[in-house]
Structure 1
């Protein structure tokens, strides 16, 4: 049935293009039942292509004559997309200075971008009619099938039945005889059949946990931002679970964001064990249809609990009740390409708009969040004790200077590993560099294996044997001799996870060694299989990158060895020390989480570094307080707001000229406006040449976001309208987390 509301003359549509504008179309004759409204998906002609866009405005006026405008081919929805999702897309595009059409495309599941109907897949459940002893007559297989279904009062899905050797014809036969019922329900989050929400009872809380939970309960009916600052192993997850239990009791939904896909199965398992309600996951490991199923379950309210990585912040909720950001400090919440949004910051904006509480949990809060808590804008809740009552493991500095190394490990560390294994514990050796060695060198002339496309050295890998650039993914076979002097004396420099794994396997031949990095876990389920093996509790050695440092519960690890703590301490980025300290504390938190106390050995060339000593002696919060004061004096975030304009081109002269002209034009505009925004640059990026393209950047800063955003908007417009702007690829990063 078509709507009786008069159709507007024109529709303004946002399309997935890099152009920062809307496109006018004439509506098609078949209007949706709800009438033409913003938020409807439409299929439209765009050049030679067909694109799926979203209606932003219905209007009676267009800058172009009606006869020049194309007509919408079809409306794809019966009702507009959710209002909360639509608001978040518009806010994101505006705040991050990104085209609305591309923002919408990023926020939609792929299946919806391609024009698939907005509905989840359905599945069939077959249920035997209870209290009916009738038999299917002379059909023994139907009788067997009916007996099996009677053993399952909730019924079985079609795939589970056919897997037992039964056919659809047999099911249809029972249906025709009215011995079974067939019910269609969504694949993800079918209708609840249990009257209880909990599958297992909540755990008893410590006094600290109970106090924190009581304060969180006070803010369930309003926007209530809280920093849950708890040491590793203090039971933050149990607080989340019991808070969400209270939210579900009010008939509302919970959105839980985790930083890495590797943490999703662990978190999902914990929530499904506790709750007897549908829990759905949203992350990049799902197929397009699985993601659509979960998205629809959240949108319609069938899924009371939604767990996902950063893109899940765009998931529409029918009845939002609370948002939880676990490991809120983690850099994975910031998208580093295209739409450069920060999921934590969008979640805060979303919670404010919806009037719901948001909990930011971390043992090592970001300085931005810590500053908000210290300034009283967020409630600062603390968990200072581990749930097992053991004190967190202390950081012990081990001096690398003048010591022989094997696979990056020195004798005191190797002896510590031997003692931990002999005591029946597990050992985590942390080295945040995958591959066998950081590079390959000629011992005769000093040649280093460098990437031909980037200003970077190539990493030596042994599985398989090759040189790989970790920036552009260029692969090269190992040379037989030095390409400069033809010497055959080529040696690996430094250690990566592969080399450390090889060394440990030789030193401890009777102990299993598990390497966990991006290379060893490429195969689906590989990470989960290794974690299952580790959780059996038998003595073993774990060699891992930061994949292992993020929130994993490894109860049998009693010793952590950090191979090289200096890698990030002295980098040029102003966030380097903050991020290195967070990583050290997080990886140290993997030790001593059960009944045995933990020990952490930090190998360093600078054991007397005052920042390292402060971290080891007084903890992360003391160091963070010092860093906040340094940032205040230096005029850096969180006391000033930053934006980074990045320019890249195939020719160095082009990028230098355009970046220089853009910066000069911006400075002239700022002076004319009397603006307080500071414009620095252009300067070459820390890695100037990457993938055979040259990169430069201009940094803008101000104490007021509004002034900074006006300057950014002007710069974007200049780049779009000025002929120079088309000679390079430019992007804008609001609140950058790295200057590289």
Structure 2
């Protein structure tokens, strides 16, 4: 795909005056994969690529980006519209991020204008200034500089503020003071004593910026064990420049402490660090731990922030005021004034892949960014993805291993419980309930992992077998009790459950199956004197509710934790000594070839929540397939052996990472339109692109979703280049095809899910 592929040359016979006209080739927020030519205002020329402009587009005015200036255009002079405003005097993104944007749009076959739009905060793409207006700053007076620390020994907050301001005689902005957790009350108290003063900087160039290398650490570093020390020394002694490290450590092995000590080294050199975590729920606890360790601004970027908050963090990172940025997937595009290191925690996690719109993979984009910035990147995981392990085996990544739990904690004992012939009560067998009773009697905690929210996955008629369905999807709506409703988790539609069966009229309608809501209710009745905490998307919907639950769970008392994968990622629960997994069989027979890999990762990650402190842990996995080879190998030989077996299978079948893959999706209200369109694409590929295998078209695993009929065409090659060349031709044909306008189509490069 040629991202800058329109207006590159002038038609024969065009006048010299047209060729001399200053032309801006723009990227606009549009689904079209080419640039747009506009006239520049008189006297404007030699603008740097990446500045924002305001331009008319149809009947609207939009904010676009200058790709480059051109002397010629295919657009006739009479039809060429003019740029309305040049918003910036400097590019919004530095040269490396600009190249990253062009690469990502090209690699993921996505419109460059839309990709650029999604890379910046909403207010920036609406035309807000790149730099914040000058704000008040604080500095010590001559009296404050001369004061000894003993003078404020009875006012610890004022003393902390005095120490930080003394390390920055040029002053600190109010935003930076907040990021460093300097209480405004302490600053006012210092001002009233004549020790500090608030002032206005003359202009942006003189605005004070922090020099955090002189600050040292707010909290002492933990002592590393032998394995951690080896890993840290390897990171510390490595030459500067781009390198990809895999820090593979069993759950509870202390990977974060290795991150922290390496980050301290980077901060002392005056550079910034970007840390990506998979879930918004992990961000607050990660930020809190980093803020407790470092005396530098540690800021968070995630979807829970308001547009204004996101822009403030983005500006501070861009201007070099933030030492550490911690965020979820989209934070990979955060500009840094002095980048020094990127860390991807839980690099295997599926949430790093954007599943709608701009379908980039945060981990892979981060690796490309590190290469462009010429800085190292550390990928951390107890269960690395098969793609990452393949790169380790090929010598492209260097692996550092932590095989022992930190602090002498022992790995949990894992037992598969055979469910064949057993009676289940609310999804739990007798052995699981007895183990939970024993654990709670010792004052310890139990985690029950059930990746299915709601009360019950199906509502059915006990008289005739009728099952409630979604009117817009090929799916069963989930029954929820608080409030009572049937909700489709695929399209979001809701309705009250019926009072009578629509087929036979019976009123004997019953929930079938167990969700987190039903299981938590049942366990609350069974263990009436023990708190039961449910952690899923429904129970944490309100702002701050997740933190409230985590604080309650942190209490050293008996409790039952019932939750989805939100509980399985990166959390440290020192009092959890028993993990129960009611059902793991679904992943053993997944239609997706990645199903076994996902199941192995999930089982290891969930099991790792048990026995992370001095108390030993146990894991009970209920299954009807206790002899399945994946389970046998995973728990007898470990994740590495299981992953190697899966890699060998992928190699034999020619599946990623042994091959490159793309998924062409098409959907429409009528079933025939997407099928016919993808049939035409498949026919052309088989005729003209022999290096590309086209599988399909076939109905999507969920053939109807939100009222749309969905079809897939899976493309595979042994080499990446032929796939991208073929896709660039497919995209050009689709954008020009009248048939393609009757459907909604998209391309997913390196798809992580085939749904």
Counterpart of 1:677 (choices 692, 712, 721) is 692
Could you tell me whether the CA contact under 8 Å between 1:8 and 1:58 is conserved in 2?
no
Q: Distance in 1 between matches of 2:160 and 2:735?
A: 67
Q: Deviations over 1:286-306 (max 9, x none)?
A: 111211111122212221211
Q: Distance in 1 between matches of 2:406 and 2:161?
A: 40
Where does residue 104 of structure 1 map in the other structure? Answer: 116
Could you tell me whether the CA contact under 8 Å between 1:466 and 1:476 is conserved in 2?
yes
Where does residue 510 of structure 1 map in the other structure? Answer: 529
Could you tell me whether the CA contact under 8 Å between 1:84 and 1:316 is conserved in 2?
no
Alignment of 1:207-226 (within 5 A): 207-226=226-245
1:183: how far off? 4.2
1:195: how far off? 2.7
Where does residue 265 of structure 2 map in the other structure? Answer: 246
Q: Distance in 2 between matches of 1:321 and 1:37?
A: 25
1:388 alignment partner, SS class: helix
Alignment of 1:393-412 (within 5 A): 393-412=412-431
**2:39 is the counterpart of 1:26:** yes
**2:542 is the counterpart of 1:531:** no
Could you tell me whether the CA contact under 8 Å between 2:296 and 2:323 is conserved in 1?
yes
Unpaired segments ≥5 residues, structure 1: 1-6, 134-147
What is the alpha-carbon root mean square deviation over aligned residues? 2.7
Q: TM-score, normalised by structure 1?
A: 0.91
Where does residue 182 of structure 1 map in the other structure? Answer: 199
Counterpart of 2:101 (choices 69, 89, 114) is 89
Q: Distance in 2 between matches of 1:250 and 1:500?
A: 51
Using a 3 Å threshold, how does the CA distance of structure 1 residues 492 and 8 change in structure 2: closer, same or farther?
Answer: same
Counterpart of 2:78 (choices 67, 85, 91) is 67
Where does residue 12 of structure 1 map in the other structure? Answer: 25
Choose 400-409 or 412-421, whichever is displaced more.
400-409
1:419 alignment partner, SS class: helix
Could you tell me whether the CA contact under 8 Å between 1:559 and 1:600 is conserved in 2?
yes
Where does residue 754 of structure 2 map in the other structure? Answer: 739
Q: Deviations over 1:352-403 (max 9, x none)?
A: 2222211111000000101111222211111000002223113211122222
Q: Distance in 2 between matches of 1:389 and 1:132?
A: 47
Deviating above 6 A after TM superposition, structure 1's stretches of 4 or more consecutive aligned residues are 148-151, 158-167
Could you tell me whether the CA contact under 8 Å between 2:213 and 2:268 is conserved in 1?
no
**2:449 is the counterpart of 1:430:** yes
Q: Distance in 2 between matches of 1:631 and 1:574?
A: 9
Using a 3 Å threshold, how does the CA distance of structure 1 residues 71 and 204 change in structure 2: closer, same or farther?
Answer: same
Using a 3 Å threshold, how does the CA distance of structure 1 residues 126 and 379 change in structure 2: closer, same or farther?
Answer: closer
Choose 657-666 or 344-353, whichever is displaced more.
657-666
**2:50 is the counterpart of 1:58:** no
1:705: how far off? 0.6
Alignment of 1:289-688 (within 5 A): 289-670=308-689, 675-688=690-703
Using a 3 Å threshold, how does the CA distance of structure 1 residues 178 and 344 change in structure 2: closer, same or farther?
Answer: closer
Using a 3 Å threshold, how does the CA distance of structure 1 residues 307 and 193 change in structure 2: closer, same or farther?
Answer: closer
1:586: how far off? 0.3
Alignment of 1:224-303 (within 5 A): 224-303=243-322
1:442: how far off? 0.6
Where does residue 79 of structure 1 map in the other structure? Answer: 90
Q: Distance in 2 between matches of 1:313 and 1:8?
A: 38
Q: Distance in 2 between matches of 1:121 and 1:431?
A: 49
Could you tell me whether the CA contact under 8 Å between 1:220 and 1:357 is conserved in 2?
no
Number of residue pairs matched by the alignment = 708
2:322 alignment partner, SS class: coil
Using a 3 Å threshold, how does the CA distance of structure 1 residues 178 and 45 change in structure 2: closer, same or farther?
Answer: farther
**2:711 is the counterpart of 1:696:** yes
Q: Distance in 1 between matches of 2:602 and 2:173?
A: 46
Could you tell me whether the CA contact under 8 Å between 2:452 and 2:516 is conserved in 1?
yes
1:316: how far off? 1.5
Using a 3 Å threshold, how does the CA distance of structure 1 residues 190 and 477 change in structure 2: closer, same or farther?
Answer: farther
Where does residue 131 of structure 1 map in the other structure? Answer: 143
Could you tell me whether the CA contact under 8 Å between 2:213 and 2:269 is conserved in 1?
no
Q: Distance in 2 between matches of 1:687 and 1:591?
A: 35
Q: Distance in 1 between matches of 2:158 and 2:220?
A: 30
Using a 3 Å threshold, how does the CA distance of structure 1 residues 189 and 513 change in structure 2: closer, same or farther?
Answer: farther
1:8: how far off? 6.8
Where does residue 4 of structure 1 map in the other structure? Answer: none
Q: Distance in 1 between matches of 2:195 and 2:256?
A: 48
Q: Distance in 2 between matches of 1:43 and 1:178?
A: 47
Where does residue 142 of structure 1 map in the other structure? Answer: none
